[in-house]
Amino acid sequence: MRYYLLLGSNIGDRMGNLATAREYLKRVGLEEIQRSQIYESLPWGFRPQPLFLNQVVAIDTSLSPLELLRIIKNIEARMGRRKTIRYGPRKIDIDILMIKGRSYQDEDLIIPHSHLPHRPFAHLPLRELIPLPLPPISKGEVWSVT
C-alpha cells in the first residue's frame, strides 16, 4: 500500500528535524518513494507559536495502518515529542494523511486524515505528489521554502 505521511516541525532545527524523521522512517524499512518540497506555514489550532515546516513523503509498505501508526508514534517519541498543548509546538509531528485507493477507520485512526480538508499546510505538499480535489488554499497561509 502507498501511504502519504505529513511531517511537521516548529521547534529547534526544523529542517534537521524533518531530515531526522525521514532517516528514522528509512531505518525501520519505510523507504520514501516520493517527497514534496518543504513548506513553511502558520500554525493551525493553537496560534501563538512558531511557524511550521511541513513536507509530505510517500512510502510503500505492507504494514497495516495501525502497525504504521505504532511505528510513527515510536519515532516521534524517540525524537523527543511529548504530550503538551493540543496542536501546540512540537519538534516533530508525523500524520498519516492518505492511503492510495483506500480508506480506514477505527477508534484510534481515521484515513484519510479527518482534518485534511481544514489543513492548508498539507494541501500544497500533497498536491505535488498526487492530484487531489481539495479546497482552495487561502493566500498567506502557506508558502514554499527555498
Distance separating alpha carbons of residues 39 and 143, to the nearest angstrom:
6
The one catalytic residue in 2, 14, 78, 81 is 81
Distance separating alpha carbons of residues 78 and 56, to the nearest angstrom:
20
The one catalytic residue in 95, 102, 108, 127 is 95
Beta bridge partners of 40: 53, 143
Q: Which residue has the cell 495502518?
A: 65
Q: How far is CA 76 from CA 22, 24, 71, 92, 141, in A?
A: 11, 10, 9, 6, 25
Residue 78 designated active-site: no
Residue 106 designated active-site: no
The one catalytic residue in 93, 102, 106, 127 is 93
Distance separating alpha carbons of residues 131 and 75, to the nearest angstrom:
28
Residue 27 designated active-site: no
The one catalytic residue in 90, 106, 119, 127 is 90
Residue 93 designated active-site: yes
Residues annotated as part of the active site: 81, 90, 93, 95
